[in-house]
Amino acid sequence: MNIGTCSTIALSGLKAHLVTVQAFVSQGLPYFTMVGLPDSTVSQARERVRSACKSTYFHWPQTRVTVNLTPASLPKHGSSFDVSIAVSIFAATHSINPNLLNDAVFLGELSLDGSILPVVGMLPLMQFATQCQISRAYVPASQLAEAQLVPGIKVIPVSHINELLRVLNAPPSLINEHFSVHYPASSTTPIEQFAAPMQEPSSSNADFNDVIGQTDAKWQLEIAAAGGHHVMLVGPPGVGKSMLAQRVPSILPPLNDTQATEVACIRSAQGLPIAIPLSHTPPFASVQHNATLSALAGGANGNRIVAGAMTLAHRGVLFLDEAPEFKHTVLQSLRIPLETGSITLSRMKANVVLPAQFMLILAQNPCPCGNLWNSTKICECQPIELRRYNNRISQPIKDRIDIKINVPSLKTLDKPHCHNDSYSPFLGDHMTFDSKHMRDTVLQARKQACRRFQSCPWSTNAQAPGTWLMENTPERLISHTNHLLESEEISIRGAHKILRISWTIADIFGRTQPTDDDLECATRLYLPDI
């Protein structure tokens, strides 16, 4: 029977599925049909495959050709099926060695001249192939470096359909040795492009030392980074709120290999460039106030799931500048991810769960005009305008923010660098607020927290559940938070956040348990106005 079979991989969001591609060449009038729930991009592969095959000496069957993508109930989208469709047709016409198709996957898009082009999501596709114990993967030569990031699978790069026929032991009569691969004039060939590792733009030049003054804000951001706490920056325009937020990744611990791969998979699945070798710097995603719900939380582009900024900031920092100017529905989409570390996109045919474990930083002015805290300018906002402005960020969102930081205007700018006189057992007599010293403090605090949580499924104080806090926090500190609860100054969530912050402060100063001073400091960080 003239049936050819090979395998490929479909990607939906970050979840991959193994797809079997079958081609059946049967008697009948010339016709090429495709079944198995393909979208318009997959359906258009018929013309790409037919045209690409003309760059070889392969004679297209002048009969009925049917291609089936299994499982048929799984929506197929994207152009990564092109190469596997062509291979299945070659196998159905007995033009290649079918034994070479076993235990292998074929990935790539075909251009009209037969060139094999890169596809979206190569890294997560290769990871899934290793989980399925696939031994060989035929990938576009331009993505060889990305595919080789995943160990345990043999990667075979191919740049043209004629080259693919050669490695699949096709008869010489089918191979056109005179083909040429055409690349855009503005770029090098894919193999030359990846001859040297591609480096991600470094953020190492962003240093807290660049921010003049704001010692209190730097100290509070150091606490936030040490415990993984969410932050709100409040201050007039031009005082450095955005600069402070942009430099938080410079003091966060570097990602481990697993986390770096996870972040790279997210970028790869969205068609974004990744660093080779993998970057271990936590990501930073900044969102403008005119962002839509799909831009922040994610959505669908046709049948393709597109991750939002919350997922792109996974394992890193999500920064929302001018937070009160965001639409109410956009801000409310933060509520569940802040609690669960993931976001669920519900679609008509499936639910897709995307990771969204990030450190949130919000920034806002003290009033609509921004002059409320200005000593030289007069605020012209009416009380009702000020109340409406402050209420644009709902109380449930504010309740989930651990640390509220007031960033005042600088009255004197004569000192390029500012220090305070707090003693730190890690840094010596004084705590220096440049990124290097702040990162050292954060790393030491994180190590102490990891030792405390070594038998727990979490590693930072911000993730510690309420049951653990109640069992391990000194009783007198719990009594103080109970007093705040009874006076209705905080909610139960707020009480837990105050206890978590106090544990982080204790870690920074090398204490095994938080003290009364740590709790008082934590309370003022959570409720800066009391």
Does 313 lie in the same domain as 344?
yes
Which positions ≥6 away from 288 have C-beta within 8 Å?
Answer: 321
* Residues across the chain: 530
CA distances from residue 222 to 186, 193, 231, 461, 464 in whole angstroms, order as listed: 44, 40, 11, 14, 19
Does 129 lie in the same domain as 252?
no
Q: How many structural domains comprise the chain? A: 2
Does 212 lie in the same domain as 110?
no
Q: Quick one: pLDDT at residue 421?
A: 42
The last residue of one of the domains, among 375, 408, 428, is 428
Question: Cα(247)–Cα(231) distance, rounded to whole angstroms?
Answer: 13
Higher pLDDT residue, 188 or 278?
A: 278
pLDDT digits (tens, 9 = 90+) for 478-516: 999 999 999 888 999 999 999 999 999 999 999 999 999
pLDDT digits (tens, 9 = 90+) for 415-431: 433 334 444 444 444 45
Does 182 lie in the same domain as 48?
yes
pLDDT bracket for residue 189 (50, 70, 90): very low
Q: Quick one: pLDDT at residue 488?
A: 86
Identify whether 365 is part of a domain.
yes
Does 121 lie in the same domain as 95?
yes
Q: Which two tokens stand for residue 290?
A: 């005119």
pLDDT digits (tens, 9 = 90+) for 72-94: 988 898 899 999 999 999 999 99
Q: By residue range, what is the domain housing residue 338? A: 208-428
Identify whether 474 is part of a domain.
no
Identify whether 10 is part of a domain.
yes
Does 141 lie in the same domain as 253?
no
CA distances from residue 444 to 12, 226, 375, 504, 505 in whole angstroms, order as listed: 39, 9, 39, 11, 12
Identify whether 324 is part of a domain.
yes
Q: Please give the DSSP secondary-structure letter assigned to residue 57.
A: T
Q: Residue 22 pLDDT more than 90?
A: yes
pLDDT bracket for residue 414 (50, 70, 90): very low
pLDDT digits (tens, 9 = 90+) for 97-125: 999 999 999 999 999 999 999 999 999 99
CATH of the domain at 92: 3.30.230.10
E-strand stretches of 392-493: 403-406
Does 372 lie in the same domain as 333?
yes
Residue matched to tokens 């049917």:
66
The last residue of one of the domains, among 190, 219, 251, is 190
Q: Quick one: pLDDT at residue 203?
A: 46
Q: Do the beta carbons of residue 315 and residue 357 sit within 8 Å? A: yes
Q: Give the CA angle between residues 113, 117, 285 to the nearest 5°.
A: 150
pLDDT digits (tens, 9 = 90+) for 368-394: 998 888 777 888 899 999 999 999 999
Does 241 lie in the same domain as 145?
no
pTM of the model: 0.87
Q: Of the spans 261-275, 345-359, 427-441, which averages the highest pLDDT?
A: 261-275
Q: Do the beta carbons of residue 101 and residue 20 sit within 8 Å? A: no
Instruction: Compute φ and ψ for 259, nearest 5 degrees.
Output: -65, -40
Identify whether 115 is part of a domain.
yes
Which positions ≥6 away from 327 have C-beta within 8 Å?
Answer: 293
Residues facing residue 26 across a β-bridge:
64
Identify whether 88 is part of a domain.
yes
CATH of the domain at 251: 3.40.50.300
Three-state SS at 216: helix
Q: Which residues of 280-291 are buried (b: 16+ CB within 10 A; e: fewer)?
A: ebbbbbbbeeeb
Does 358 lie in the same domain as 321?
yes
- Mean of all residue pLDDT scores within the chain: 88
Q: Quick one: pLDDT at residue 371?
A: 86
Q: What is the mean pLDDT of residues 396-417?
A: 76
The last residue of one of the domains, among 402, 428, 454, is 428
Question: Cα(23)–Cα(33) distance, rounded to whole angstroms?
Answer: 10
